[in-house]
Each structure stands twice: as C-alpha cells, then as structure tokens.
Amino acid sequence: MNPFSSGTRLRDMIRAIRACKTAAEERAVVRKECASIRAAISEDDPDYRHRNLAKLMFIHMLGYPTHFGQMECLKLIASPGFPEKRIGYLGLMLLLDERQEVLMLVTNSIKQDLNQTNQYIVGLALCALGNICSAEMARDLAPEVERLLQFRDPNVRKKAALCTIRIIKKVPDLAENFINPAAALLKEKHHGVLLTGVQLCTEICKVSTEALEYLRKKCITGLVKVLRDLTNSPYAPEYDISGITDPFLHIRLLKLFHVLGHGDADASDTMSDILAQVATKTETNKNAGNAILYECVATILSIEDNGGLRVLAVNILGRFLSSRDNNIRYVALNMLMKAIALDSQAVQRHRATILECVKDPDASIRKRALELVYLLVNESNVKPLTKELVDYLEVSEAEFKGDLTAKICSIVEKFSPEKIWYIDQMVKVLTQAGNYVKDEVWHALIIVITNAPNLHGYTVRALYKAVQTAGGQETLVRVAVWCIGEYGEMLVGNSGMLDVEERINVTEADAVDVIETAIRCHSSDLTTRAMCLIALLKLSSRYPSCTKRINDIILQQKGSLVLELQQRAIEFNSIIERHEKIRSALVERMPVLDEATYSGRRAGSVPAAVSTSQGALPKIPNGVVKPASAALVDLLDLSSDADQAPSSSGGDYLQDLLGVDLAPASQGTNQTDKRGADVLLDLLSIGAPPAQSSSSMLDMLSSGQDNKSAVGMLDNLASPSAPSAQASSPGASSSMMDLLDGFGPSPSVPETNGPTYPSIVAFESNSLKITYKFSKEPGNPQTTIIEAQFVNKSPDIYSNFVFQAAVPKFLQLHMDPASGNILPESGNGSITQKLRVSNSQHGKKSLVMRMRISYKANDKDVLEEGQVNNFPRGL
C-alpha cells in the first residue's frame, strides 16, 4: 500500500497549515501535529511511522525544530520494505548532517543496504552516503563503494562514482584506491556514467598527483576521442539541449582537459586540435553553446601556451563582451581577468568596451568591470582611464562609490606620472566622494604635498576653491584645513603661481572663514575640529592681523566637552596670549615627511592602534595627540640617550617626525629653549607661588619610588612645546631646572673627581636642617649614595616626619625607608634616610633635587620645601 496514495493525513495537515491566516495559528497547528507525532514515536507505532516522518519533514521545511524525529529515520532505514527505507533516507538527508553523531548509527544499515542485490535500495544508500557522509563513514564504507563502481546497473555505477567524489574529498588518502576504477569509467557508453566518471576523474586529479600522472599518460587520447565523437554526433533526442548533444558532458570533458593540460606541454598538445574544433564550431546563439565556449576558453587559457589557440580564446571573449546578453558579458569580464595575466595587449584593445561596462546599470557587471579596469591600468593609459573613472564617480550610485573611490585612489597612487596630476586627481576625488576615502589615502596625499614644495601654493589654492563648493566632504575639509594652516600665507599672497592658474583673491579673513566654518559645523568630527584648532594656531602666526579673531574662535572651544579639544583650545589660547615670542617658532613649516618610510610602513603590517596614531601625525605639527606612552617618553627624552638614532623601521614614527628631520628645520630653536621652558612653567602653573600648586606638582613627583612614571606624567602636560625642548641637551637641562621652579642653572661647584665628596647642607631653615653625605659605589660612578640626615632645630617634637624628593628626568632616585618618623626637638636626635641617585648624564650634568618635608608639630601640619642646588660637581 502506498501511504501517499490515500495521503489524507499528510495532505490534510498541509492543507490545514496553509489555511492558517496568522503565524500564531500556524504555530498552534504545528504544535498539535508535533505532539501527536511525538506520542506515536514514544509508542513505537510502526504503522504510521512513514506518514509521520513525511509530516515531520514538512514541518521542518517550515522552519520548526524537529530533532525528536531523528531516531525515527534510523528505524525506518532499518526496516526491510522499500517505501520505509526511502522515506527514512529522505528524512535522514533532510534532518541530519555530517556533523551529528547520530549519523554514525546509520553506518551499519547503510552497509547492509549497499550489499543488497536490489539496485533501488543500493541506490538509496549510495544517495544518502554521497550527500551527507562524514569522514569516518567514508573510511568505513569505501570498499563497498569501490566494488559498486563496477555494479551491473549503470544507475548504481553513476551514483557510486559521485559518492566516491565525496569520499575522496573527505578522506584524500583513499584516492589511490580509486584511480583504476575511475579510469575504467571513462570508457563507458552510458552518458550518465560517463559524466559522473569524468567528474570523478577531475576530482581525483585535484587530490592525488599520482592519479594525475596516470590519467595524463593513459587516458588523454581516449578522452579526446570521446569529445570528438560527442561534438560530431548526430542528433540524439534524449540528450539534446538547444541543438547540442549533452552540453553538460562537453563541459565536463573540457574541465577535465583543463586539469590534465595545466602545466604539461605534451598533454596540452594532444588536446589542442579538439579544443580548436570546439572553439570554432560551436553554435553561439543559445546559452548551451555559449556555456561550452566559455569552458573551452577557460581551458585554453590555463593549458600550456599555444599561440594560435590563445588568440582564438581572446577573440571569443571579445565577441562575448559585445553581446547584448548580460550573462555573457559578465562571464567574459570574469575570464578576461585571467587573460590579462597571459596576454595583456590583446585585452587592452577592448579597453573602451570594458570602461563602458563600468557604467552598466547592473551591479554585478560594474563590479567585474572595475576589477578588470584596475588590472588594465599601466603608465601609458592611466590618465585617460582615471579621467573616465573620476567622471563616472560623479554619477555613480552610493553603494558603488566606496569601491570606485578605493580603486581610483589606488590607481592614482601607483601610477601617477607627476605630482601635480596626482594632487589634481585626489582633489577631484575628495570633492566627489571625500567621505569614502580611507584615512591612509588622504594621509598619503598630505605626505606627497609636503614633498612637493613647488606645488604648495597651487595645492592650497586648489583646495580652497574645492572647499567652497564641496564643504560637505569631511575628508576634503580636513586636507584643506591642514594645507591652509601650513601654507596660509601662500594662499593670500598668490605665491608660487603656476602657468595654468588664474589669480584668485583670497583675503586672510576668507581663509579663516573656511576654518571657522569647519570647526563650527555640526557634522565635523573630533579629528576635523582638532585639525582646525591647530590650523588656527598656525594662522595666528602667519596672519598677524587676524590674531584676535582667531583667538576668539579658539576660545569658543575652551568649554568643549571633548577633552582633546578643550585641552588644545586652552593650550593654544595660552600660547597666543602669553607667548608671542615663541609662537612663530612653534608653528614653523612642518618638516618634510619621508615618503619612503611612510609607504614602507603602510606596506608592512602595522598594528592598527599604532597606525591610527601615526596616521594622525601629519596633521599635528608640534604636538603629540595621544599615541602610546612609549612615544611620549621618547618625545621628551630629555635624559636623551643622545645617541638614540631615530629608527625608521618598527620604532616610533614619531621619532622620525620629530627627530632627525627636525634638526635642519629648526635652526632657531636653541634660543627658544629658555622661552620654551617658560612655557612649560606656565603650563604647569609652577611659577604660581601658592603652596598647593607646587605641592600638587610634587605630589605627582611622589616620594621618589617610581620616578620615571612621575616624570612621564610631567611630559604629558608639557607636550605642546615638545620639539623645541628636545633639540639640545643643555637647553633641556636648563628647562628642566626651570621646571623645578626656576632656580637657574646648577651652580658651579669646584670639580671634584675624586671618589669622596664633601657633604653639604642640603636645606636649612629655622626649624630644620638637612645634611647630605655622599659616597659612590666602587665601579659605578654614575650612582651616588646619599645619606640624608634631618635635624630638628626647634623646641617642638616633630612627628609624622616624611621626606619627599624629586629629580629631573636624567636622574633616577631610589629612597630607602627613613630610620624613623619622629624627630626629637632641638637636635636631640636625628632621622636618617638613604637615597640613591643614578645620573645618566654623569659628567655632563650635575645633580639637582627638589625636596618637600612634611611633619606635625604642636598638632599643626607643617610643610617645608626647598631645592638642593649645591651638589658637588662630578656626582
């Protein structure tokens, strides 16, 4: 009895589900059905198992979970009857896949079915095996399948062949066993078996070189004959499709030739005739014919060179390219990418058509065409091609713009013949699609600009004009703002005019307008605004007449909620208002950024975090944004490991930027150091007398335990005036001295080169006296051991006595715990504490120390501070 012949229950269920008007109704029906199926399963009811599984499969197709039915599949497969097995295998393939362990349970049933004589049952088992077997099952059942490759019934043979494909994909080692039977299949007459045999051979060759060799030697001539017979065969109604006999077999044979001929000249020779025949004789008015031609072209392009054939292939592709059928054009574009590698000249001839395809309304074709155009670009055609692409950028759709922009930028960068053309193209791209341009691209643009001094004027004027029309493109605004900041005087002065330019009249106010608009615009993000602030600072120096206005604009950002902007605004405002003298030096022209380093850096794999901070560099003239602290420390490395050569590779790009390149550019910086130090002072509000400010600084420079980080924090605040400070050591030490409250350069104590040094009175006040005794460790001249002695000069006892010290960066300080924290009165006792100071500038700079002493006397907290300047020289 065929349970489907009455089919009431299954059919009824389907009808019921389809009749549901809402999802909730459907869920209710499904739930009911699942419940009754589950009940039947638990009762182990054999009668309706078949029907239940069919219903379960339908429910599964609707998207509901059906795991509880998996065991039912197994039970059905194990039943003796064909209908049960059939539905069981069907359910198995639908509800399970190779990753589930339940599948293993089926292995035995499948094995038994594979050994049956009934070819239909064998077929069922092979089908299931071929679709979902796992690697273990493949291994277990491979011998059975191998035997079945020679079964009497062709249906079984073809299924076995495809099943073998899956087996060798899962377990490539088994491939060797199948080489001979696979080759035998190639002699079949039955199309189905032949087709599957060819497919099997193709797969085996991909997996096993041994098979490849064998087939190349033994089977090529046979295969050529098969293809020839097929091509020449008369009308065969059973396999005819659009007038061609079995195009699928054609295509599969060609694919096998592809694999056999690739890399082997002899094989390629043997097949060249038949390939030529197929290429020339196949009908092209129907899809089937074109499919064969396409495969033929693919094969020709991958086998060893045969000049005539290749020309034929590219010509066919050219014909495809002008076809009206979109599918054909698509495959042609695809294949041309391969052809370019082999014969770029031939493909160049079709450049115009390909360019047209970039503008096609179909997204798939546009994408392929763009990829192809990218491969076609070379030095001679880059200009017209880019022009076309940039023109198209204007009208292209938003989703395509991203791709297109990236490709154009890439082309322009790689092939630009001269800088001015590069800048022109980039300005155009930025104007059209600035928002799609990636960060590295516009950074690279800025680098190129700095490297082209003769074009500075031209560039800034071009950008100014562009921003007037396309102010919405943020990247364009950023580049423009940077350039206006750097080259502002060239903009208003019309200097460096090239022949192709017209005079434009830009006043200083106009230029500041541009930046003001950018900074005020709601959609400008942090980067843009930050860049605007820096640019304004630069302009305040280049346009002295606008200083007031610029200052006002900067002041508006003082209250910004973003820390970065607030900080910059305050700092720049301070520079403008109080440090006129050093301002111009601070904002001098940026040093030329080294293209080679930068592009080398980009080419290598730069970690994202680092690259974003370094990428940010070109826009920051003097300051450091917030890169890794390592960069900061190096930046203000006043303890300068002076021989530290800025390393281009790996190391901080920051050093490159502000290290070597700075030297030639900053002639006047030495004098500025003192003033630079003043800036530092002000910035840290150290000059302010109240104790809290200096104590707050000293708080940072803690009790000397971890000096390096403390001074590092100092560096943080001191950042904006960095480069001036770094330039020279003596200047640096004096600035550091000034930092520690301007006591002036270290006093010249007579040089004592001997190992003993006189002790000094480090500090003396009415209430306290501190003496230092020095000693050096033998063999370690850089380190000085200081024994500090504290004596109480007053009649009160001091308690909670704490001594803190701070040193400049070139020194390192370690403090041992004090001997006590109660200081008896009137010198009746003392507290001693051992300090260890390491001088990395030993011999060049002498020690300096700032002290802070706190204690409690008469229930009052007392704080005293001082600086020790009278260290013996040579320490």
Partner 1 sequence: MIRFIILQNRQGKTRLAKYYIPLEESEKHKVEYEVHRLVVNRDPKFTNFVEFRNHKVIYRRYAGLFFSLCVDITDNELAYLESIHLFVEILDHFFSNVCELDLVFNFHKVYLILDEFILAGELQETSKKAIIERMGELEKQE
Contacting residues toward partner 1, per CB under 8 A = 2, 4, 11, 14, 18, 54, 57-58, 61, 63, 65, 82-83, 86-87, 90, 93-94, 97-99, 120, 126-127, 130-132, 155, 158-159, 162-163, 165-166, 191-192, 195-196, 199, 238-239, 241, 246-249, 251-252, 255, 287-288, 290-291, 294-295, 298, 326-331, 361-365, 367
Minimum CB separation from partner 1 for residue 100, in Å? 9
Between 318 and 745, whose beta carbon lies closer to partner 1?
A: 318
Q: At what angle do helices 363-376 and 326-342 cross, to 10 degrees?
A: 20
Minimum CB separation from partner 1 for residue 316, in Å? 13
Question: Which residues make Cβ contacts (< 8 Å) with residue 654, sequence separation at least 6?
Answer: 614, 617, 624, 627, 631, 634, 635
Nearest to 148 by CA among 171, 102, 179, 116: 116
Cβ pair 865, 854 in contact under 8 A: no
Cα 636 to Cα 629: distance, rounded to the nearest angstrom = 11
Q: Extract the tokens encoding 282.
A: 């196949």
Question: Which residues make Cβ contacts (< 8 Å) with residue 691, sequence separation at least 6?
Answer: 863, 865
Minimum CB separation from partner 1 for residue 481, in Å? 39
Between 318 and 781, whose beta carbon lies closer to partner 1?
A: 318
Minimum CB separation from partner 1 for residue 21, in Å? 15
Between 23 and 563, whose beta carbon lies closer to partner 1?
A: 23
Minimum CB separation from partner 1 for residue 147, in Å? 18
Between 204 and 625, whose beta carbon lies closer to partner 1?
A: 204
Q: Region of 242 please: left (phi>0), alpha (psi -120 to 50) or beta.
A: left
Between 293 and 511, whose beta carbon lies closer to partner 1?
A: 293
- The continuous run of DSSP H or E covering 476 comes out as helix 474-493
Between 175 and 298, whose beta carbon lies closer to partner 1?
A: 298
Between 330 and 871, whose beta carbon lies closer to partner 1?
A: 330
Minimum CB separation from partner 1 for residue 209, in Å? 20
Q: Extract the tokens encoding 607.
A: 């970690």
Minimum CB separation from partner 1 for residue 396, in Å? 16
Cα 485 to Cα 197: distance, rounded to the nearest angstrom = 72
Minimum CB separation from partner 1 for residue 196, in Å? 6
Cβ pair 871, 749 in contact under 8 A: yes
Between 159 and 461, whose beta carbon lies closer to partner 1?
A: 159
CA dihedral 176, 179, 182, 186 (to 10 degrees): 160
Q: CA distances (Å), 700 to each of 694, 703, 807, 865, in order?
A: 10, 9, 12, 15
Between 212 and 331, whose beta carbon lies closer to partner 1?
A: 331
Cα 825 to Cα 15: distance, rounded to the nearest angstrom = 105
Minimum CB separation from partner 1 for residue 515, in Å? 43
Cβ pair 273, 232 in contact under 8 A: no
Strand 780-792 relative to strand 768-777: parallel, antiparallel, unpaired?
Answer: antiparallel
Q: Terminus-to-terminus CA distance in the chain, angstroms? A: 109
Between 239 and 421, whose beta carbon lies closer to partner 1?
A: 239
Cβ pair 519, 525 in contact under 8 A: no
Minimum CB separation from partner 1 for residue 72, in Å? 15
Cβ pair 819, 832 in contact under 8 A: yes
685 three-state secondary structure: coil
Between 197 and 485, whose beta carbon lies closer to partner 1?
A: 197
Beta strands in 626-682 (DSSP E): none
Cβ pair 485, 622 in contact under 8 A: no
Between 38 and 190, whose beta carbon lies closer to partner 1?
A: 190
Minimum CB separation from partner 1 for residue 7, in Å? 8
CA dihedral 422, 426, 428, 429 (to 10 degrees): 140
Minimum CB separation from partner 1 for residue 14, in Å? 6
Cα 248 to Cα 511: distance, rounded to the nearest angstrom = 69
Minimum CB separation from partner 1 for residue 389, in Å? 21
DSSP 398-446: HHHHHHHHHHHHHHHHHH-SSHHHHHHHHHHHHHHHGGGS-HHHHHHHH
Q: Extract the tokens encoding 599.
A: 């592009």
Neighbours of 651 (CB within 10 A): 16
Minimum CB separation from partner 1 for residue 164, in Å? 9
Cα 91 to Cα 60: distance, rounded to the nearest angstrom = 10
Between 262 and 675, whose beta carbon lies closer to partner 1?
A: 262
Between 130 and 618, whose beta carbon lies closer to partner 1?
A: 130
Neighbours of 688 (CB within 10 A): 12
